Amino acid sequence: MTDPISTLESAISDVGYLRWWAEALPEVFQVEFGGVQLYFPPLVAGRPPNSVVALRFHEPSVVAFLTAEDARELPVDWRTALHADKLKPFSVDHERFTVSSEDTLRDVLVGCRVEFAHGSEIGAPSDAGSVLLAFRAQQVGLIVRAKRMAVVGQPGVLEPAQIVSASEAWWEYWREYWRRRDSDSPLPKDYACEVTIPLK
């Protein structure tokens, strides 16, 4: 059986990008990614599918923004600018993205300055049922620990089985995209498909 956690990690980190975040702390923190390899039917004819997925964390104990120590040409208040849609998205580092691994979290922290928006230390899981997010995206990153995480896509909150089926549907769509790409009836141009190039 396909693991929904590893499916989600791959779907976001393969070619995804950090595009926005919002908070209603201490109750909720949400981070939004684009270029996610989960398929939801287009809302408008002639447009590609909506590739945006949000991770919504309930009762977070830690929310920490990361900035690379060697960051250049990055606003000091980049997190505020990103929230206000005044920065271009940051491409996610495929090797340093997790919603499951404490080892990856430790790797994500290397070479970063940490700014806490909530909580005061990264620490260890507060309880066995807690959830985790840790990733780098170019010169920035984020770490969240919380009691619960919801995965939210175009249809609403996604159950584990829906994550897996949306991933399978995306890869079917990707194959069709490339089959028709240079034909007389191409599908609408799609960033995630264009940068996921097939072997020929």
Average pLDDT of span 100-127: 91
- pLDDT for 200 equals 63
Q: Give the mean pLDDT of 101-130.
A: 89
pTM recorded for the entire structure = 0.95
* Averaged pLDDT, 11-21: 98
Question: Strand (E) positions, the chain?
Answer: 17-24, 28-34, 53-68, 90-91, 97-98, 112-118, 131-137, 140-153, 156-158
Cα atoms found within 13 Å of the Cα of residue 135, Cβ hemisphere only? 25
How large is the angle between the packed helices 160-180 and 4-13, nearest 10 degrees?
40
